[in-house]
Amino acid sequence: MPKYTKKASRESRSTPYAIEFLLLQVMGNGTALCRVLMDPRVDPNLVDEDGDTPLFIAANLGNDRYVELLLGDPRVDPNITNEKNGATPLNAAANQGRNRCLELLLADPRVDPNLADEDGRTSLCMAAGLGEDRCVELLLGDPRVDPNLTNEKNGATPLYAAAAEGKDRCVELLLGDPRVDPNMTGEDGNTPLYIAANLGKDRCVELLLGDPRVDPSITNEKKGATPLNVAANQGRNRCLELLLADPRVDPNLADEDGRTPLCMAAGLGQDRCLKILLADARVNPNQADEDGRTPLNGAANRGKDRCVELLLADPRVDPNLASEDGRTPLNAAATQGKDRCVELLLADPRVDPNLAGEDGRTPLCMAAGLGRCLELLLADRRVDPNLADEDGRTPLCMAAFVGEDRYVELLLADPRVNPNQADDSGRTPLNGAATRGEDRCLKILLADERVDVCCADNNGQTPLVAASIQLLRSIDRVGATDGKDPTRCFVLMLKSRRIPIQNLAHSIAYLRHFMPNRRDVTVAEAGGAPLTQQQKAARLVVPVLEAQFKGERRWCAYCLKLTPDANLDLCGGCKQVGYCQQYVLEEMAGPDQTPCHVKHWKDGHRKECARFQEEEEERKGKQAEAGAEGGGGGGSGGGGKKKIGNCKKGRRR
Ligand SMILES: [Zn+2]
Ligand SMILES: [Zn+2]
């Protein structure tokens, strides 16, 4: 008689009574099987190519009769595992829900009912996870079965497996067994209740909560979250309801990050959960997380409109509570550009729209680069548009300094905005734009009559000087054709016709300090010590300003280039603006070779020119009336205010 082997070897397959033959018989009829089994030469434990023994196949297919017959043979080893997945016949029966086979196998004292397959699952784990109620019942009925034996791979108990898969009846059966520990966690640190709440298995949650042994306050070992936390986090409305209905559940318990269930629901936009939580009188609607962020703050920060709406509708919610960095919900929404939240918050009369963060920035400040939010805030009469941050910067300063021309425009359109309010360094929006080379903002500011073009900062720099200094820093980019020529701000200042003659003189005096002397230039040209950046810039700018002072133009009114060495042809009509001459034409007029004056004429100077001429006539008329002489500067005055550098700065509150 052949010896039993735990695992059949390959050679044994070549016996005359090969397993394929045996299996054929198993599939055939009982009588044939009996005959085969009676043959002493037959090894009833041989496996087929899939690694299955006859008993395994019979159990797997639910062939009760053959399982019975095979178990009746003392030579049959009922614990031989499948070579491929390590499953025993009992595992196979549990896995397939073969109740009768399972019963027969359990009735055999040789069967070990706690053996696990290669995935570490015991028969009870399998049956529970698959919802094979009767199998679970049978297995629990066997005193040898350990109902808390965990899956070796993920540490899940049978109860955990049933709860995770929402197998209600199995959960019920397992809970009915006094040996089952209903609070055992898997390797993920989750209890069965936690995983059921996480995955929204409502009925399982209900069953688990119905067991007095289940502790609903056990937190996830890794994240410190309670089942209620995770239900809120995942938007499991019904689970949340069930958990809240349990008097043992504390609805304000926070996870490791200090987030309560309400915080989570609000931050993730779980509207329905939020509503359920707010309806519970025990829930503290203002409890903040470890960043000091209340549920409203979190919802506003993430743009969860509906949650913001629901929270604002609760009279217990304080809508002005700020987080650690001092941001109120409105400030957070404005910072993130969450328009609808800004709108909702502004609609609440309790909200203070001027509360600033730790950096002193109000919601309007934060929204300075965010179109729709800015519009909404400006539309609110309570909002003070001139409130500055800790550096004294107003929203207009910020927008101008960073080149947000559209917002400069929006802010200037508001009559409450002070266009000249300077920051702590004395820099007005215009000065800041000139300093940073933000030519588009500068252009918009210069077009506003209220903007003071002469206001100097704490270092005595006027916008014109600031534009020149800016040139010093980026002298290498002069002549750039990508529209970012650093001379643009400087030229725009001159082109505005708003620089008074005194301011011009002051700028020339200031910048002359940087002019290199003749020796320096000779040395540099001979290949000696090169000129400094400042010297280079002064050589570029001072001749232009000096020419301006004399009524000449060394900047082109169309392409905004400087020609420091040559006076340009003036417009024949107004004699106020100059255009590139022939020798620079090729380089500057563009591929179509249209001269700058032709382009500018079509581009708007036609209208401007008539106005300039009228103004000039008026000026001459007035001078004639007064009988006074015209002064040295000719056309450069252009009607600007006569003051230098020490204008009144806006007060910071
Ligand atoms: Zn030009
Ligand atoms: Zn003209």
Checking if the pLDDT of 344 tops 70, the result is yes
Residue reference for tokens 């502790």: 215
Tell me the CA–centroid distance for residue 607 and ligand 2, in Å: 9
Structural tokens at position 78? 């009922």
Ligand nearest to the CA of 497: 2
Tell me the CA–centroid distance for residue 617 and ligand 1, in Å: 27
Phi, psi of 101 (to 5 degrees): -60, -45
Cβ(209)–Cβ(193) below 8 Å: yes
* Closest CA relative to residue 167, chosen from 135, 214, 215, 121: 135
Tell me the CA–centroid distance for residue 609 and ligand 1, in Å: 17
Q: For 152-222, where are the alpha helices, taking DSSP H only?
A: 158-164, 168-175, 192-198, 202-209
Structural tokens at position 606? 């036609």
H/E element holding 553?
none
Ligand nearest to the CA of 586: 1
pLDDT tens-digit map of 264-310 = 999 999 999 999 999 999 999 999 999 999 999 999 999 999 999 99
Strand partners, 116: 122
CA distances from 641 to 248, 500, 636, 637, 647 (A): 76, 6, 12, 9, 11
| Neighbour-count burial for 278-305, b at 16+ CB within 10 Å, e otherwise | bebeebebbbbbeeebbbbbbbbbbbbb
Rounded Cα distance between 527 and 523, Å, is 6
- Model confidence at 15, pLDDT cuts 50, 70, 90, reads very low
> What count of residues does the chain have?
653
pLDDT tens-digit map of 499-554 = 999 999 999 998 998 899 989 888 988 888 888 888 888 888 999 999 999 999 99
Ligand nearest to the CA of 583: 1
H/E element holding 503?
helix 501-512
How large is the average pLDDT for residues 435-456? 93
pLDDT tens-digit map of 448-470 = 999 999 999 998 889 999 998 88
Tell me the CA–centroid distance for residue 498 and ligand 2, in Å: 16
Q: What is residue 20's predicted lDDT score, i.e. its pLDDT?
A: 52
pTM of the model: 0.73
Tell me the CA–centroid distance for residue 560 and ligand 1, in Å: 6
Tell me the CA–centroid distance for residue 448 and ligand 2, in Å: 21
- Model confidence at 440, pLDDT cuts 50, 70, 90, reads very high
Ligand nearest to the CA of 604: 2
Q: What is residue 21's predicted lDDT score, i.e. its pLDDT?
A: 52
Tell me the CA–centroid distance for residue 549 and ligand 1, in Å: 20
Q: What is residue 640's predicted lDDT score, i.e. its pLDDT?
A: 39
pLDDT tens-digit map of 353-374 = 999 888 888 988 888 666 688 8
Structural tokens at position 96? 């397939």
Cβ(368)–Cβ(399) below 8 Å: yes
Ligand nearest to the CA of 611: 2
Tell me the CA–centroid distance for residue 559 and ligand 1, in Å: 4
Tell me the CA–centroid distance for residue 373 and ligand 1, in Å: 39
Cβ(541)–Cβ(510) below 8 Å: no
Tell me the CA–centroid distance for residue 574 and ligand 1, in Å: 17
Tell me the CA–centroid distance for residue 532 and ligand 1, in Å: 28
Higher pLDDT, 454 or 646: 454
Tell me the CA–centroid distance for residue 552 and ligand 1, in Å: 15
| Neighbour-count burial for 159-181, b at 16+ CB within 10 Å, e otherwise | bbbbbbbbbbbbbbbbbebeebe
Cβ(341)–Cβ(374) below 8 Å: no
Pairing of strands 578-579, 569-570: antiparallel
pLDDT tens-digit map of 210-248 = 999 999 999 988 888 999 999 999 999 999 999 999 999
Rounded Cα distance between 260 and 226, Å, is 9
C-alpha radius of gyration, the chain, whole number: 43
Checking if the pLDDT of 652 tops 50, the result is no
pLDDT tens-digit map of 466-500 = 998 888 778 777 777 777 788 899 999 999 989 99
Checking if the pLDDT of 182 tops 80, the result is yes
Tell me the CA–centroid distance for residue 596 and ligand 1, in Å: 5
Task: Give the best-scoring range by mean pLDDT among 29-33, 53-57, 452-456.
Answer: 452-456
Ligand nearest to the CA of 605: 2
Ligand nearest to the CA of 598: 1
Tell me the CA–centroid distance for residue 580 and ligand 1, in Å: 4
Checking if the pLDDT of 72 tops 70, the result is yes
Between vectors from CA 433 to CA 430 and to CA 438, what angle results, nearest 5°?
140
Rounded Cα distance between 515 and 154, Å, is 78
Ligand nearest to the CA of 571: 2
Checking if the pLDDT of 325 tops 80, the result is yes
CA atoms within 13 A on the CB side of 390: 6
Cβ(37)–Cβ(73) below 8 Å: yes
Q: What is residue 369's predicted lDDT score, i.e. its pLDDT?
A: 64
Tell me the CA–centroid distance for residue 571 and ligand 1, in Å: 12
Task: Give the best-scoring range by mean pLDDT among 47-51, 252-256, 294-298, 594-598.
Answer: 294-298
Average pLDDT over all residues of the chain: 85
pLDDT tens-digit map of 576-596 = 899 886 545 455 555 566 778
351-355, 434-438, 615-619: range with lowest mean pLDDT? 615-619
Ligand nearest to the CA of 588: 1
Tell me the CA–centroid distance for residue 606 and ligand 2, in Å: 7
Tell me the CA–centroid distance for residue 573 and ligand 1, in Å: 17
Strand partners, 562: 555
Tell me the CA–centroid distance for residue 305 and ligand 2, in Å: 54
Q: What is residue 19's predicted lDDT score, i.e. its pLDDT?
A: 54
Within its chain, how far is the Cα of 113 from the centroid? 52
